[in-house]
Amino acid sequence: MKKDLLELNMEEMKAFAAEQGEKPFRGKQIFQWIYRGASSFEEMSDLSKDLRQRLAEVASLEPVNLAGVQEDPKDGTKKFLFQTVDGELVEGVFLQYGFGNTMCVSSQVGCRMGCAFCASALGGFVRNLTAGEMMGQILTAQRYAGEKIDHMVLMGMGEPLDNWDQVSRFLRLLHERSGKNMSWRNMTVSTSGIIPGIRRLGEEFPQVNLAISLHRPDDEGRSRLMPVNRAYPLEDLIAAAREHGEKTGRRITFEYALIDGENDRPEDIRRLKQLLSGMLCHVNLIPLNEVEETGLKGSTRIRAEEIAEELIRSGVPATVRRKLGEGIEGACGQLRRRTEKKG
């Protein structure tokens, strides 16, 4: 199998060049070409033709290929279907905001968390994505859009903290100065609540943003919606979140998908206020993006705004998320494992 060069940092790329009988500075040239947008060795004009041919025989610049694109005419959101070398299909989303362009990246093929409202787990878990496959989503989307991506959220398919080794490598690659050079503070890692991973994130990446999918303020209801709660109960999760905020000084985002009659009742919001009181946090209220197979319905926008106002009055910062990509099933919770492999 060819070497995926998107997995390598600058020093590793220099070592790879040396393995090919080249001077280390050739590795630096290759690395810089990749992050200038080259998708083939032929584009690397300051390398000899012989070297370009040899590289094409032993290495790859495309751990994922573009298998399809949908664009939402309302807001310009683009949903990408990526195919991996072994034929698996995953989705990612390019989002435009006033502060810049954001890529929502998938970290796994499928998901093992089994959240009741989410499409990503419907096809089951297949495997973790590599750091190169995650980077490939960003570079492929960036080439297609013709615009720089300067923010990244690991909120696509999969549970990022269930794939720690590759996710941590990916974060470091994104930050590499001679490469993408993305600020730590422009990266967000989302989790359903894997406490050991939250602690590792705080220790190794204290400036990276943490988003926790909460969705219920009580153990019984959360365990029903999110089976991960049985392993990491709510009390322990909130304690870990408070510890993370105190240690890093970074505000935590709690994602709360509003489900009609499930978690938007007055008693739910009372519990939510009590749970988050005094914490350095922000609640992102999301009227559920409906997935046909789940049978769950989202709360109305009016109800979401009422809840936001109530939380704010109690001292808990909250906003209702602007919906992007809804017309192409590219919104939160709608990305899924496509099974119709290409080729």
End-to-end CA distance of the chain, in Å?
A: 18
| Cα 304 off chain centre by | 24
- CA angle (155, 160, 161) in 5-degree steps: 140
DSSP string, 309-342: HHHHHTT--EEEPPP-SGGGT-STT----B----
Name all contacts of 6-14 with Cβ < 8 Å and 24+ positions apart: 6/34, 6/61, 6/63, 6/131, 6/132, 6/133, 6/135, 6/136, 6/139, 6/173, 7/63, 7/130, 7/131, 7/132, 7/135, 7/169, 7/173, 9/172, 9/173, 9/176, 9/179, 10/176, 10/178, 10/179
Interstrand relation of 78-84 and 64-71 (parallel, antiparallel or unpaired)? antiparallel
How far is it, in rounded angstroms, from Cα 229 to Cα 221? 10
C-alpha to C-alpha distance for 264 and 287, rounded to whole angstroms: 10
- Looking up tokens 């029903």, which residue turns up? 224
- 3-class state of residue 209 by DSSP: strand
User: 56-72 as b/e, with b when 16 or more CB fall inside 10 Å?
Assistant: eeebbbbbbebbeebbb
Residue of 215, 79, 210, 223 lying closest to 156 (CA atoms): 79
Backbone phi, psi, residue 289, to 5°: -80, 110
Q: Which residues are catalytic?
A: 91, 332
Q: List the structure tokens of 114.
A: 């089994």
Integer angstrom CA distances of residue 235 from 126, 244, 255: 31, 14, 17
